[in-house]
Chains A and B, each alone.
Chain A
Amino acid sequence: MRKLFFYVPLALFLLLTVFLLSGLFSDPRERESASLNKALPEFALADLMQPQQIWTPQQLHGETFLLNVWGTWCPTCNAELGYLTELRKQGVKIVGLYYELPRDPTFDTPFNLKTLQQDVAQKLQQNGDPYQFNILDLERSLSLDLGVSGAPETFLVDADGIVRAHHIGDINPRIWRAKLAPLYQQWSQP
């Protein structure tokens, strides 16, 4: 009986220690997206470079692709352009979802598509252009529907337009090999 009173609290304490220790190494930002295994939300958004072209989810069916949420204002997004361009050369289809910053009518200059296009063209020339095309999410409505919390974020969408994987943060060789490449292989097989 005495032994029990010693070992039970000890076991509980060790259990708690292991639990807290594992918490030290877990990433608090890591969580499953609510869009996983759901179809892309409905949208009709203009192309960033050819505004007369309107993209809808149906037009994106037919091929597995990465939907990369980015903006030129976001340093991490600019940093991952190089590696994403490499992936494009390997045959990965990447579509950009341009995440425009909100503007304060009192302090900011009004939105100007020309300036943005020049800015984007310049950034893509400097760092590499991984995108088949860019969808301009000016009001961040599609981003809100997708549950985007910031840039960069990337969604893996299969040929039927279903979101299959989600990654918060930049894509680098390590993340690609460990997390996204296997899923990309799995979902791009017909």
Chain B
Amino acid sequence: MKYLIATVILLLSGALNAQELLQFDNDSQRDLYRSLTAELRCPQCQNQNIADSNAIVAVDMRQKTYELVRQGQERQQVLDYMINRYGDFVHYQPPLNRYTLWLWLAPVLMLALLLGTAIYRRSRQPQHNADTKSELNTELDQLIKRYRSKKP
């Protein structure tokens, strides 16, 4: 019983103390802040977003993101603010331009090439395929016949 009361008190104290360190006007601002800090990249520590990183610059960028979101700025405005200062590097979603176009084009081209090769190879040997198929079929028929004739 003593343990049960202690557990309940512990659980309750956690629930009562659980309050956000950052205050927002509404939930959509909080969501915006969360998604922005998750997709903005820390310029100092490689391959971490600013939500995960505790580098000085990441702390400052989080603070700035918080201020801008509290001011009621839109998602794209905050992203532009950061990209103006830290370049495209700072956003995990690269913009579509003539340098990054290949990121999207390369897989499509690769697939087209593969498909083209496959169709070409297939079109070269259709009769041959049919021949082997009929040969195989007659062979199988004979096998089945032999097998059946053995049965009592």
A binds B: yes
Which residues of A does B touch, CB under 8 Å?
A: 28-29, 31-35, 99, 101-102, 140, 143-150
Query: Can you give 22 contacting A-B residue pairs, CB < 8 Å?
Result: A31-B87, A34-B84, A34-B86, A34-B87, A35-B85, A102-B59, A102-B60, A140-B60, A144-B60, A144-B64, A144-B85, A145-B85, A146-B85, A147-B85, A147-B86, A149-B43, A149-B44, A149-B57, A149-B86, A150-B44, A150-B56, A150-B57
- A-B interface contact total, Cβ < 8 Å: 40
**Shortest Cβ distance from residue A102 to the other chain B in the assembled complex, whole angstroms:** 6
Q: Is A31 in contact with B61, judged by CB distance below 8 angstroms? A: no
Cα–Cα, bound, A31→B46 (Å)? 12
Cα–Cα, bound, A33→B86 (Å)? 7
Which residues of B does A touch, CB under 8 Å?
A: 43-44, 46, 55-57, 59-61, 64, 83-87, 89
Contact of B61 among A33, A101, A144 (CB under 8 A): A144
11 new A-B contacts, CB < 8 A, other than A102-B56, A147-B86, are: A29-B46, A33-B87, A34-B86, A34-B87, A102-B59, A102-B60, A144-B57, A145-B85, A147-B43, A149-B43, A149-B57
Contacts of B44 in A (CB 8 A): 149-150
Cα–Cα, bound, A22→B84 (Å)? 29
Cα–Cα, bound, A140→B63 (Å)? 11
Q: Which 9 A-B pairs have the closest CB atoms?
A: A149-B43, A34-B87, A147-B85, A149-B44, A147-B86, A150-B44, A149-B57, A140-B60, A31-B89
A34 with B57: in contact, given A29-B46, A150-B44 (CB under 8 Å)?
no
Contacts of A145 in B (CB 8 A): 85
Cα–Cα, bound, A150→B54 (Å)? 12
Determine the residue in chain A with the shortest Cβ distance to B120. A1
**Shortest Cβ distance from residue A10 to the other chain B in the assembled complex, whole angstroms:** 15
Contacts of A149 in B (CB 8 A): 43-44, 57, 86
Cα–Cα, bound, A181→B23 (Å)? 49
Contacts of B60 in A (CB 8 A): 102, 140, 143-144
